[in-house]
């Protein structure tokens, strides 16, 4: 089986398992909470993989856009504005504007400079959120209500929320795959591989990269909306560089530059993070080396490893 088809087959298998899990005895609250976390972080990882694989931009501030979407929910909730017709446009606009303003500066650089600038913007967002005393400051903010869908509390139905998260993950994966396969995606890859050659044939890399950065940030902001509703809590930690590092690690763990790999990497990362604490209180001393070993010995990530084993 070709490697691309293996990517798709494994991803479809994971999505099918998530779709069937609540119907096969995994409908308890703690399972649905875990699955929601997996799907939301997988969607955020897919948006980052789109940016890394398409434009070659490894952002260490990607979680900041996710946090902007989450804080849009929190701030509106504090003012008792919880309907999705208000929350969704505000969250999309906030995440897109944040990505546009920061990306307009960051994308003028490359390599380590780009990583450090996105890290700086992410930390600026983190400290800004920490200073919002009216919305919990360092302690975070607990939502009064989940986002309402046309005056109904469907979000509070855990089964509905499960399939909403699954639908968003599928939409995010499909949209990013469609964009990468389009003319826009081909220009992005050409600019990533050789910017001067792309310019020579009439394509300016900067606007394409900026648009990709905004799209990825907006999708991350939507993931933040779901994450805020899943936890019913928003904190500055959602914007920290550690969360961005986790998203990058999910992308690398699954297979760098592969959208399907981002989903598989997120599933493996979150499951390990949930399982290891049951073994020992010092689980992070096991988790860290395991991730390092995975990077060292699974060249090409999980997808590359499984493809090599199949070969």
Instruction: State the Rg of the chain over Cα.
Output: 19
Tokens 């983190």 belong to which residue? 126
Backbone angles phi and psi of 141, in degrees to 5: -130, 130
pLDDT for position 2: 44
3-state DSSP helix/strand/coil percent for the chain, to nearest 5?
Answer: 80, 5, 20
DSSP letters of 139-196?
A: G-EE-SSPPBBTTB-GGG-HHHHHHHHHHHHHHHHHHHHHHHHSHHHHHHHHHHH-HH
Residues spanned by the domain of 215: 3-310
- Note whether 246 and 90 are within 8 A (CB): no
Supply the pLDDT for residue 294: 74
Nearest-angstrom CA–CA distance, 166 and 233? 20
Residue 222 confidence (pLDDT): 96
List phi, psi (to 5°) of 118: -65, -35
- Residue 101, pLDDT score: 95
Residue 310's pLDDT is: 60
Gap between the Cα atoms of 18 and 159, Å rounded: 12
Domain count along the chain: 1
Q: What is the DSSP letter of 149?
A: B
Q: How far is CA 297 from CA 66, 141, 190, 255, in A?
A: 31, 41, 30, 13
Which of helix, strand or coil describes residue 299? coil
The CATH code of the domain that includes 265 is 1.10.3470
In tens digits, the chain (311 residues) has pLDDT values of 444 467 778 889 999 999 999 988 888 888 999 999 999 999 999 999 999 988 888 889 999 999 999 999 999 999 999 999 999 999 999 999 999 999 999 998 888 899 999 999 999 999 999 999 989 888 899 998 899 988 888 888 899 999 999 999 999 999 999 999 999 989 888 888 877 787 777 788 899 999 999 999 999 999 999 999 999 999 999 898 889 988 998 898 888 778 888 999 899 889 988 888 877 777 777 777 877 777 777 777 777 666 665 65
pLDDT at residue 277, as a whole number: 81
């Amino acid at each position: 089986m070709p490697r691309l088809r293996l990517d798709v087959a494994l991803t479809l298998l994971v999505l099918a398992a998530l779709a069937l899990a609540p119907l096969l005895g995994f409908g308890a609250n703690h399972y649905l909470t875990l699955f929601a976390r997996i799907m939301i972080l997988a969607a955020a990882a897919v948006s980052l993989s789109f940016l890394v694989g398409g434009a070659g931009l490894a952002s260490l501030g990607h979680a900041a856009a996710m946090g902007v979407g989450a804080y849009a929910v929190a701030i509106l909730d504090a003012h008792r504005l919880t309907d999705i017709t208000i929350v969704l446009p505000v969250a999309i606009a906030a995440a897109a504007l944040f990505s546009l303003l920061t990306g307009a500066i960051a994308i003028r650089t490359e390599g380590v400079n780009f990583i450090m600038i996105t890290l700086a913007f992410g930390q600026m967002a983190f400290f800004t959120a920490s200073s919002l005393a009216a919305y919990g400051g360092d302690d975070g903010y607990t939502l009064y209500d989940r986002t309402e869908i046309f005056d109904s509390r469907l979000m509070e139905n855990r089964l509905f929320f499960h399939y909403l998260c699954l639908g968003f993950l599928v939409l995010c994966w499909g949209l990013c795959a469609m964009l990468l396969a389009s003319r826009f995606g081909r220009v992005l890859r050409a600019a990533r591989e050789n910017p001067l050659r792309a310019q020579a044939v009439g394509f300016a890399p900067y606007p394409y990269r900026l648009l990709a950065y905004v799209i990825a940030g907006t999708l991350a902001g939507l993931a933040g909306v779901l994450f805020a509703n899943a936890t019913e809590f928003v904190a500055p930690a959602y914007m920290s560089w550690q969360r961005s590092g986790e998203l990058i690690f999910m992308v690398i763990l699954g297979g760098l530059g592969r959208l399907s790999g981002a989903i598989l990497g997120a599933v493996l990362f979150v499951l390990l993070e949930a399982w290891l604490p049951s073994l020992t209180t010092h689980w992070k001393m096991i988790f860290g080396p395991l991730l390092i070993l995975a990077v060292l010995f699974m060249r090409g990530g999980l997808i590359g490893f499984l493809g090599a084993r199949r070969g």
